Chains A and B, each alone.
Chain A
């Protein structure tokens, strides 16, 4: 027990240290050109706030962490519903979709895996079209049902997989248990975002998906994957039950899936003609801009771990 707490504490201290170093670098750069770097400074400041919220909820209790993830899902879904076209007649349907959040996270809290895995993709999937047809307004029905379900899957179902990691018990190979896995997932997903961005800024030349996201380059993508891969190998023995082969697989899965999540939300934004999904996090945009990668990495990493270790 004492050892478990120590490992996680060290991991958290490592993250704070990394953030401090990154902030000093940003500070040094911003002194040279204060105007062009103001967004980077705002972004770094927001990182401190986000890491603080995450650390506090992580240290206080699993339950609080689950509540925080539920709030993240709520904010993301609200952002999604606010930026997509919706029908006035569907107000009630949107309300039901919001209600799915506490229910889904209750299954997480309860550790009820069977229900957690089917509640949204089966029950909400079947219920929302029914609720929508009760409006008796068929014009735009298909579009409404499709967009509402996708939002629920992306913002609630996907993200709740990160919270479900917390429920996974410690094993012989991994005294840090689910908390360690969650830390591993969140840290690598977010670190990979920053790494891909940084490599892209430094070396980016060849565009990777210009039709969707003109700023993404092969150099950024590969640089990010390589950096995250190395970091996964180094940190996996500390907080996960993975052997080297599985650590390597996770080290590829997270950056690749993270990239796909990122460009998927980019495609959505481009379709809607918006630059950011919101303005909740200064320097980053909306909350969906911050967790876009996580919507892909969380379910994939969860099932990877569950398949091999639980």
Chain B
């Protein structure tokens, strides 16, 4: 309920203040198990992807986010879990016996849609960094879940890391064809990189420095 109310508000902000140009929205999975793999430039990334989902599906869409950031205080943790519906992941590899991706495996087994940012951090806005391999472990463990690459542009201009001032820009959301698991992690990561390379050159973006 709280989540729905929150995302109705988000929807208004995202669609009115920003304005989205979505290509191939029909490829965006609204039912799981599936993994949405997106580049990361801004806190708005998750908001926008959630805003593209039907309200009734929101409870099954789970953004995967860094535990050290989103669960760093009790208030943050409560909001992250109950309003944003985040699945926490420990950054920096395995510390201890438990697989850091266990929460993701469970969610996929329950037929949820995960939103994953394999760059691991928002980093410098509008610059893609190398993709971390975690997503390929997910694909291997849950081969029935297609991985759908989504390239976004402009959200880092509107609200970059370290800023609280939202400046309106039209944003591009390019959804790519789903990648299915073919038995090899390296190959999976290469395909993913190729997809992102293709999506990010679909349009010439205005320079921003």
List CB contacts (< 8 Å) of A69-96 with chain B. Answer: 74-75, 78-79, 81-88, 91-92, 94-95
Digitize B146-188: 1 where CB-to-A-CB distance is under 8 Å, 0 elsewhere.
0000000010010010010101111000000000000000000
Residues of B within 8 A of A83 (CB): 206
Contact A88 B209 (CB under 8 A): yes
Q: Would you list the 4 A-B pairs with minimal beta carbon distance, nearest first?
A: A82-B170, A85-B207, A82-B169, A91-B167
Residues of B within 8 A of A81 (CB): 168-169
Contact A279 B207 (CB under 8 A): no
Contact A85 B169 (CB under 8 A): no
Contact A91 B165 (CB under 8 A): yes
Q: How many pairs of residues, A versus B, come closer than 8 Å at their CB atoms?
A: 47
Q: Could you show 12 A-B contacts with beta carbons less than 8 Å apart?
A: A78-B169, A79-B170, A81-B169, A82-B170, A85-B207, A88-B160, A88-B209, A91-B157, A91-B165, A98-B167, A279-B21, A280-B19
Q: Which of under 10, 10 to 19, 20 to 34, or 35 or more describes the interface residues of B? A: 10 to 19
Closest beta carbon of chain B to A2's beta carbon, Å:
38
Q: A273 within 8 Å of B by Cβ?
A: yes
Contact B206 A91 (CB under 8 A): no
A residues in contact (CB < 8 Å) with B: 74-75, 78-79, 81-88, 91-92, 94-95, 98, 272-274, 278-280
Residues of B within 8 A of A278 (CB): 21, 170
A4, B205: Cα distance in complex, Å: 49
Contact A84 B204 (CB under 8 A): no
A278, B21: Cα distance in complex, Å: 8
Smallest Cβ-Cβ distance to B19: which chain A residue: A78
Residues of B within 8 A of A272 (CB): 206
Residues of A within 8 A of B21 (CB): 278-279
Smallest Cβ-Cβ distance to B124: which chain A residue: A88
Residues of B within 8 A of A75 (CB): 19
